[in-house]
Amino acid sequence: MVAPNASAPMTIRYLERPQLDPALWDDCIAESTQRLLYAFSWYLDSLTTGEGAPHWGGIVAEQEGRYVAAMPIVYKKKYGIRYAYQPDYCQQLGIFSREAIDLKPWSTSFFEQLTRHFKWVVSYRFNEKNDAEFQFPGVFAPVKRFNHVLPLNEPYKDLYQGYATDRKINLNRARNTGWLVDDQTDIRPLIQLHREHNEEKAVGSSTKLDLTIYERFANAVDQLKSRGVARIWMARKEGEKRAEAGGLFVLDRDRIIYLFNGASQTGRKQQARLWMINRIVDEFAGQPLVFDFESPAVGAESVKAYYQSFGAESRPYTEISYNHLPRLLTYARTLVRGFRYTR
């Protein structure tokens, strides 16, 4: 790893995806102190390719032929207006920087590039580490969101003691059910299980859902599987073939992300997802990892409480939004619909 040269000039600019060097970009993300899989070019490419797909570009800080900081931005166009938004399956983005980069003096330049190229940001979420690295201008209307993460560095018996009483009781019930797990290569059966049993509750029956996101997400998971970082588990009862629940767990360096799940009524009532989560916690206990529950950003308070009941800690991150469109164009805010999560 080569440390950035503090005395070398740094250029900060916005680049559309075709202008970006994916090798330089991914090297920066991989070596960043804020590393999250959502920011890799191959992951973003999968989510922005195909029918109904958005676009993406990024603000990069370049120094001596390397990207030393990068900020991915996903956006759409409607009625000739370009607007940035937070896509599904990318809980947090923000600025990703190499270890020797102090973001505090450079964040203003990133914000200037953001407002220059995007007059309208419907929603954009910075990663949790950015919260301590710089201040967000009030014009961005910053709002604190909270994710739930369980550090796994203690022995399993100690982690188990941190479970709420209800979790322990339900886990015993799940163990007595006789769940078996099958490791799958394709996420699509789990997506179908989610759609049949969980989609309406997740997005609301009156919400018009962009169904094209599912195939893009499946392509992104294919990329994760090809890199050996994704586990797709489907749980079934002993002696039965039909899966009643499933979960997607992504293992990226020091983080295990609970990225997607689904369960039938039987799977929910008989705690199949709890059983799978506990199995992961047991397997990786005592290691310098965190289990990231990927809590919903807005609402779903019962889901957040459920994740907290594992002894997970609450970690803040910041979401921004602004509208700098000319006054005659502000009507467009009412034209955009569909920013609904599919989980």
pLDDT of 334 reads 53
Whether 100 has a pLDDT exceeding 50, the answer reads yes
Whether 255 has a pLDDT exceeding 70, the answer reads yes
Q: How far is 308 from 302, CA to CA, in rounded Å?
A: 10
For the ranges 61-70, 156-165, 210-219, the lowest mean pLDDT is seen at: 210-219
Whether 6 has a pLDDT exceeding 80, the answer reads no
pLDDT of 78 reads 86
Paired tokens of 342: 């599919």
Identify any residues that bridge with 290 across adjacent strands, giving them in sequence order.
151, 255
- Tell me phi and psi for residue 66, to 5 degrees: -125, 150
Q: How far is 153 from 286, CA to CA, in rounded Å?
A: 4
User: Mean of the pLDDT values across residues 309-313?
Assistant: 97
- Tell me phi and psi for residue 201, to 5 degrees: -65, -35
Q: What is the mean pLDDT of the chain?
A: 91
The DSSP output letter for 156 is H
Sign of the dihedral through C-alpha 43, 47, 49, 55: negative
Paired tokens of 300: 């779903």
Domains of the chain plus CATH, in order, are 11-145+318-334 (3.40.630.30), 148-316 (3.40.630.30)
User: Mean of the pLDDT values across residues 71-77?
Assistant: 97
Question: pLDDT tens for residues 175-230?
Answer: 999 899 999 999 999 999 999 988 766 665 445 677 889 999 999 999 999 999 99
Identify any residues that bridge with 255 across adjacent strands, giving them in sequence order.
252, 290
H-helix or E-strand spanning residue 117: helix 103-117
* Percent of the residues in the chain that have a pLDDT greater than 90, as a whole number: 81
